[in-house]
Amino acid sequence: MSKVAVFRKEHFNAAHRLYNKSWDDQQNDAVFGKCNNPNYHGHNYDLIVKVVGEPDPATGYVIDLKILSDLIQQHVLAKFDHKNLNLDTKEFAQLNPTAENIVIVIYNILRELINPKFELQIRLYETPRNFVEYPV
Ligand code: NI
C-alpha cells in the first residue's frame, strides 16, 4: 500500500449574498454584515481537489491530472465561474452560498464522477486567509 495524494488547483470568480430569508434585515445584518449586501459581492475562489490512491502499475499515475482538470472544468467551473451563485445556480437557489456550503456541493458533484476507490477531499479558499475543507 503506497498511497499518494495528488492535487489539482483551479480558480473561479463568483458573486454571492449571504442571508437567511426567514430572518429580518436587522438579524441578517447582525449575523452576515457586509456579506449580506443586497446587491451581492464577489470573491476569487481557489479550489484545491485532492485525490488519494495508489499509483497505477501501468501508468504510474494515481489519476491523470488532465482528466481530473477536465472533470472540474466541465462539472464545477462551468456551473459556478463568473456566476451569481444565488441567482444563477440551482445549487444555491435555496442554500446559503457560504464557503462551507460551496465546498460540500463541489465535493458531492465530484464524488459521483471519481472512482470510489479514490479518497477525495476538497479545499476552498474564499480569500487567501479564509478557507474550508471537506470532508474533514
Ligand atoms: Ni462573501
Q: What is the pLDDT of residue 86?
A: 98
Copy the grid coordinates of residue 60: 504510474
**35 included as an active-site residue:** yes
The pLDDT tens digits for 12-66 are 999 999 999 999 999 999 999 999 999 999 999 999 999 999 999 999 999 999 9
> How much is the pTM?
0.96
* Res. 1 pLDDT band, cuts 50 70 90: confident
pLDDT tens-digit map of 66-112 = 999 999 999 999 999 999 999 999 999 999 999 999 999 999 999 99
Instruction: For residue 36, report the distance from its CA to the centre of ligand 1, in Å.
Output: 8
**Catalytic residue flag (residue 119):** no
> What is the 114 CA–ligand 1 centroid distance (Å)?
29
Q: Which one from 11, 54, 82, 119 is the annotated catalytic residue?
A: 82
Catalytic annotation present for 82: yes
Count Cα neighbours of 56 within 13 Å in the Cβ-side half-sphere. 8
Fold of 4-134: Tetrahydropterin Synthase; Chain A (3.30.479)
